[in-house]
Structure 1
Amino acid sequence: MAVGRTTAAGFLVGELRRARMRRGLSQDELARAVNYSASMVSAVEIGQQPPTAKYLEMVDRALDTDGLFGRMLTDLVSLDRTQPWLRGWRAILEQARAVRWYEPRYVPGLFQTEAYARAVFEAGGLLDPEEVERRLADRLERQGVLYRERPPYVVAVIDEAVLRRRVGDRKVMREQALHLARLTTEHPRIRLHVVPQTAEEYPGLGGQFALATLPDGTELAYLDCQVRGQELDRPEDLLRLQGVWEVTLGEALPPHDSVELLREVAESWS
């Protein structure tokens, strides 16, 4: 998707999501109504899977939209020279105007140095060299969202353990900590907080998550795991994660103190 330009395909995806939510249906409920899997509904709504004419026919019927989405596919989306159906988290990042991101394990991908990201992908020798290079190139390209004309506002919280666990060698860790300090002091739309090791158990330790706000005000959550990511938009799921976010942020140091800790950690890796 070209930065700053909405394609017909992207417009269709957004309208599908809005129409479902106006009817008060979750992705699971729409999936049952159209006789498709919930993962298919999610994949379509985040641009991971292009909708077929048959799928849109069933959605039009379930939402009583009088063939609107079928016509959009035929008459509008077909006018696009390209239909950049993006994938998962990348699609959400490209659309988001604000992101709240919590990580207890690794430095968030948007903030990783090339050396740190390479060490992540090479860990354990599970990926062949070609796959490592493919994933590395994708991660570095994705970071471009931070430097476009109108980047999202990103607030990130990481646990101090992320900074203390070695990924790669000591030089990699030192440069990564200094990179985080530079980002949070120099980038006008990035704010980074660190939960210190002195904090006791808190809800965020349950796992990584991100909350994204899209331009139309839609809230989405994204969870990452070993196999694939998962998008969540059910109000009860969002409310739960928003609560976890608020408690976790409350345990974190303010930005200035977080920067001081980052520099202290960088020196410890020297």
Structure 2
Amino acid sequence: MADVPSPLAAFVVGEIRRARGAAGMTQEAFGRGAGFSASHVSAVEGGTRALTMDFIKGADRALRTGGLFERLVASVGAPSWFLPWLDAERSARQLRLFEPLLIPGLLQTENYARVVMRLNDLMSAAEVDQQVSARMERQRVLTGENPPQMVAVLDESALRRTGDGFGGIMAEQVAHLVTMAELPHVHVHVIPATTGLHIGLSGPFALARSADGGWVGHLENQLGGVVVDSKDDVASLLAKWEGVRNEALPRRQSIDLMKEMESHHGPQ
């Protein structure tokens, strides 16, 4: 399941270890209550194994905290509505992403992500830095030892965003897209502007397929997002996915179009 980003993980692990000690629980007893082996608990506390949301939830059960540690991670590291999707994203064997207006978060450069985050003028500079860092951390799912197959579909309009001082950032972003799209496990497809209206214009969405074959969906909106896991809702999203995928250019033609856009923006 999803790894909790450092340095938050180190802090949470320390607090869980202190709470376990205060409760007089051995690693073995704690592990029984949390659903993990003593060796797993030892590895997490020793920093040689990643802290995951499953472990945090297990710690809350074992220590009977009423969900304290999960709320702590939600308040400091990521909003609560996003945590289930992070779990699904990190453990996925397949990812399907559709974005009609922006570059998908897993494919954003740091500079592009920062510009997007700054659009929310309610966020402080520190909050922007934290969110950008968290987004860059999430992208490690694509560069690990056993990355998922990812297919992303985006609208050509997302490649043509421009504005004062934005050309260089956009050129860098499109170049990064091309680099990622040429990885064997990453497929980026572009819906050309000539397509006109299509089903995806109703909004962005994502789908993650776990090792056991189950799908989970994620919908973004102005207030946050919604994780979708009911059979009917997932089936509806999969149908919408087929719709947007069918409107997109093949992989090589999409890369050629992105290279054309990279040249169009150019450094400014």
The residue that corresponds to 1:245 in the other structure is 241
> Closer, same or farther in 2 for the Cα pair 1:165/1:73, shift >3 Å?
farther
> Closer, same or farther in 2 for the Cα pair 1:215/1:263, shift >3 Å?
same
Amino acid at match of 1:209: F
Q: TM-score, normalised by structure 2?
A: 0.70
The residue that corresponds to 2:157 in the other structure is 161
Task: Deviation per CA, 1:117-175: give whole Å up to 9, x if none.
Answer: 01011125331100000001100011111111100100000001111123761100011
Equivalent pair of 1:159/1:194 in contact (CA under 8 Å): yes
Does residue 169 of structure 2 align to residue 172 of structure 1? Answer: yes
> Closer, same or farther in 2 for the Cα pair 1:219/1:166, shift >3 Å?
same
SS in 2 for 1:224: strand
Task: Deviation per CA, 1:54-75: give whole Å up to 9, x if none.
Answer: xxxxxxxxxxxxxxxxxx9736
Equivalent pair of 2:96/2:208 in contact (CA under 8 Å): yes
- Stretches of structure 1 that go unaligned for 5 or more consecutive residues are 4-71
Equivalent pair of 2:153/2:190 in contact (CA under 8 Å): yes
Query: Shift of residue 227 of structure 1?
Result: 2.1
Equivalent pair of 1:88/1:229 in contact (CA under 8 Å): no
- Count of residue pairs the alignment pairs up: 202
The residue that corresponds to 2:212 in the other structure is 216
Query: Shift of residue 103 of structure 1?
Result: 0.5
Q: Partners of 1:177 and 1:75 in 2: how far apart?
A: 44
> Closer, same or farther in 2 for the Cα pair 1:170/1:237, shift >3 Å?
same
Matches within 5 A, 1:126-137: 126-137=122-133
> Closer, same or farther in 2 for the Cα pair 1:232/1:268, shift >3 Å?
same
Q: Partners of 1:113 and 1:200 in 2: how far apart?
A: 28
Task: Deviation per CA, 1:35-59: give whole Å up to 9, x if none.
Answer: xxxxxxxxxxxxxxxxxxxxxxxxx
Equivalent pair of 1:208/1:223 in contact (CA under 8 Å): yes
Q: CA RMSD in A?
A: 2.3
- Stretches of structure 2 that go unaligned for 5 or more consecutive residues are 4-30, 46-50, 58-72, 74-82
Equivalent pair of 2:2/2:87 in contact (CA under 8 Å): no
SS in 1 for 2:193: coil
The residue that corresponds to 2:35 in the other structure is 76
Q: TM-score, normalised by structure 1?
A: 0.69
Amino acid at match of 1:148: G
Query: Shift of residue 233 of structure 1?
Result: 1.4
Query: Shift of residue 234 of structure 1?
Result: 1.4
Equivalent pair of 1:89/1:229 in contact (CA under 8 Å): no
Percentage of matched positions with identical amino acids: 37
- Pick one of 245, 253, 268 that aligns with 2:264: 268
